[in-house]
Amino acid sequence: MVDHRSHSPRSPHPSQTNHPHPHSGHTHPSGKNPGGSANSKRLILENLVSLAVALLIVFAVRSSIIEPFKIPSGSMIPTLLIGDHIFVNKFAYGLKVPFSDLIGERPVFLIPGELPKRGDIVVFVYPRDESIYYVKRVVGLPGDTVDIRNKVLYVNNTMISRELASASAAEDLFYKLDDPKYTAQNLDLYTENLDQSRHLIMLDKTNFSGESHGPFTVPPDSLFVMGDNRDFSNDSRFWGFVPMKNVKGKAVAIWLSLSFDPLSFRPSRIGTVLK
């Protein structure tokens, strides 16, 4: 029905009113868009799918390519300090199918890799408690004979040479540790030459309980590992060998060094390449 009443100049023409046309599609007579709810649900679903894909990629990268770990103990001092955060190269010894180590007894490799080398720092699942990760240095490969004589490492009956580190290197380390039990009076710092790896190790002058161990013959598909803090490391000398299936990767670099007990931030260690 058409309204025939006259309109004042201020009254808009009926065709110019703000009332929506019933078929305009812009608004619902109730003031709500009938497709708004569906659009919102679709947007939420799209965001959830995007988030799930992003998380899947992140976890796949952590599973097969690179993963961060935190150092909770001092068994690898002087190379790794408590509170160091490291990157571990997960494909150093082969590129594996993501998550295959979680669903099978051993990981499935897309590209098989080589064995670790003597001197590599590896992160692995502790054989006696697979809920715990350890980090140690590889000193023995399959078939090697390893023994420790008067705190000197021998591999295949060959003494691994070492020399005392400089006084300045020891002083710098003990300053960073800032702990009264780590002093030049009771600890010696050495540079050890294990194949192509030159690295620091630490020996306690007052500890004679771990002077000699072995000999140990490393079985197939296994490693013999030790901590660089030789007199304060729970390693293969005490609990045996590491199966290769337990090895998660090679420690390659420090990306953060932060300890809370005592509080210590060590920015000079950030970016340190591990060797």
Residue positions annotated with a catalytic role? 75, 136
Q: What does the alpha-carbon distance between residue 269 and residue 61 come to, in Å, rounded to a whole number?
A: 25
Q: What does the alpha-carbon distance between residue 200 and residue 249 come to, in Å, rounded to a whole number?
A: 21
- Residue 216 neighbours by CB distance under 10 Å: 17
Q: What does the alpha-carbon distance between residue 76 and residue 124 come to, in Å, rounded to a whole number?
A: 14
DSSP letter at 13?
A: P
41 Cβ contact list (under 8 Å, min separation 6): none
Cβ–Cβ under 8 Å, residues 197 and 160: no
Cβ–Cβ under 8 Å, residues 145 and 155: yes
